[in-house]
Structure 1
């Protein structure tokens, strides 16, 4: 339905079509004339408010001179699956793709991340990430682990952009004290966390152990906000075999409430930095 909330995959189709059209130097009006529709339809497709037929998609890709078979196949596959529930990548896949999650990191203008056990992925060092990815009973081979570490670190290039997203990270004291990769690796990770907390777009707060029971005990999550007003917030929860996406207003409102509650009991950014430094010195 045209009025339904855009799914994860429809958003990706829309974003890629805009990218291809602009790269080809075509206007929305030219795209509309190509497939024989009104310009408003192109606007709705590019805002993910309306799906696109496979015939129209293939025609636009030819018009935009997108002729790499792998790219075309990926776009067709995304369009075919765009009406499936976008909030779940099903278990059963040997290596679930986190492409949607990475795309959200790139396109979001506000990222709220609560981490109960680990340092947030966008703030991890290579050594820390390697230890996380290879933790037993991991079945990943050395090359697979290294490829994933490289990918995770490459995601951090977002902080080098001219207009990086605003990110608020809430960590638990337990996550700071968990010696992932050993004492030396953890010291280096905490040093990096302190450094990133000084980044103008990053805010880090820590929930101290003494806070007791709180709303985050059910687990970690990331809440993405987007500059496009037609895109609702998205909650992402990573698990062992994939990623759960939640996009309804009720779901995102609930997690916004949880995040705000966690912020209220966390230490201030300044006091959080002091605690991070203290934990690092204790190692």
Structure 2
């Protein structure tokens, strides 16, 4: 099971360092001059784009007037943890934004996810994951494909963790009618989805076709909350590979309202019926019938 990695610790460290600098009444330019750094170095550290060595951190904290050993140890531990990369063995197979998402999920208290096209990655069975991996990265073959699938399934260990977040998933009905991997795989996937919806701490809702056009059709997104330890984070995935994170309060609030609006359009009690209807539509269909597959990572 992965533990909160560098991306989470680095974000916490940057937040604490900015607070400490503000409390000391110093600007970034003033600190850079005192440390004999280029201003861009401090800017990158406070943006969480790079780590910071323990020696640099000690000197920086001295400039901020932080000499209490307990506070020093807290900052130093954040700095050390910020260099420990989870899923290191899968670098080169998984995009950096996706690896960052895995770290954020482990540290979150609540995860809200909306998907208009595919079943969310945390709820996928292995065959479905393999089919979407091939669709998203057709160049993956052999061992590289197996390792990519392994990484995505490893992510699901979080669902069985004692300290897992509370999960809320909303899926557009289109996702349960797309025969990803063929009708046989899709039937198994939908039965798995139905079972997962009965687990405590996991909410799954489906926005039915009868709703018509809705705000969620703009694209998938994930919202992560952290019990006040960090700002809420919004993850916007782009199939072109330029997925982005944002902790802008206005953006996270707007997407939270969007999620609540989608929840209101997707009654929980309708999920079994919608899944059964999708499975009935596949009955009698030859397994060899081709399917069109679209994939995203989250």
After TM superposition, the score normalised by the length of structure 1 is 0.69
Instruction: Provide the C-alpha distance between the structure 2 equivalents of 1:157 and 1:137, rounded to a whole number of angstroms.
Output: 23
SS of residue matched to 1:170:
strand
Instruction: Provide the C-alpha distance between the structure 2 equivalents of 1:150 and 1:111, rounded to a whole number of angstroms.
Output: 22
Question: How far did residue 107 of structure 1 move?
Answer: 1.0
Residue 144 to residue 278, structure 1, CA distance change in 2 (3 Å): same
How big is each residue's C-alpha offset from its partner over 1:124-162, in whole Å with a ceiling of 9 and x where there is no partner? 000001000101662222322211111111111112112
In structure 2, the residue matched to 1:12 is: 9
Instruction: Provide the C-alpha distance between the structure 2 equivalents of 1:122 and 1:242, rounded to a whole number of angstroms.
Output: 21
In structure 2, the residue matched to 1:196 is: 196
Superposition RMSD in Å:
3.4
Residue 50 to residue 175, structure 1, CA distance change in 2 (3 Å): closer
Question: How far did residue 14 of structure 1 move?
Answer: 6.4
Q: 1:75 aligns with which of 63, 69, 83?
A: 83
After TM superposition, the score normalised by the length of structure 2 is 0.65
Please identify the structure whose Cα radius of gyration is greater. 2
In structure 2, the residue matched to 1:244 is: 244
Instruction: Provide the C-alpha distance between the structure 1 equivalents of 2:153 and 2:197, rounded to a whole number of angstroms.
Output: 17
Structure 2 segments unaligned to the other structure (5+ residues): 14-44, 59-72, 86-91, 283-298
Question: How far did residue 242 of structure 1 move?
Answer: 4.4
Contact 2:8 2:104 in 1 (8 A): no
In structure 1, the residue matched to 2:178 is: 178
Contact 2:172 2:208 in 1 (8 A): yes
| Pairs aligned (count) | 221
In structure 1, the residue matched to 2:106 is: 106
1:222 equivalent to 2:222? Answer yes
Instruction: Provide the C-alpha distance between the structure 2 equivalents of 1:100 and 1:50, rounded to a whole number of angstroms.
Output: 15
Structure 1 stretch 243-252 or stretch 233-242: which is displaced more?
233-242
Question: How far did residue 210 of structure 1 move?
Answer: 1.2
* Runs of 4+ off more than 6 Å: 48-52, 71-74
Residue 10 to residue 209, structure 1, CA distance change in 2 (3 Å): closer
Residue 10 to residue 148, structure 1, CA distance change in 2 (3 Å): closer
SS of residue matched to 1:279:
helix
SS of residue matched to 1:239:
coil
Residue 249 to residue 282, structure 1, CA distance change in 2 (3 Å): same
Residue 54 to residue 258, structure 1, CA distance change in 2 (3 Å): same
Counterparts of 1:37-76 in structure 2, within 5 Å, are 53-56=52-55, 75=83
Contact 2:114 2:259 in 1 (8 A): yes
Structure 1 segments unaligned to the other structure (5+ residues): 1-7, 17-47, 65-70, 78-92
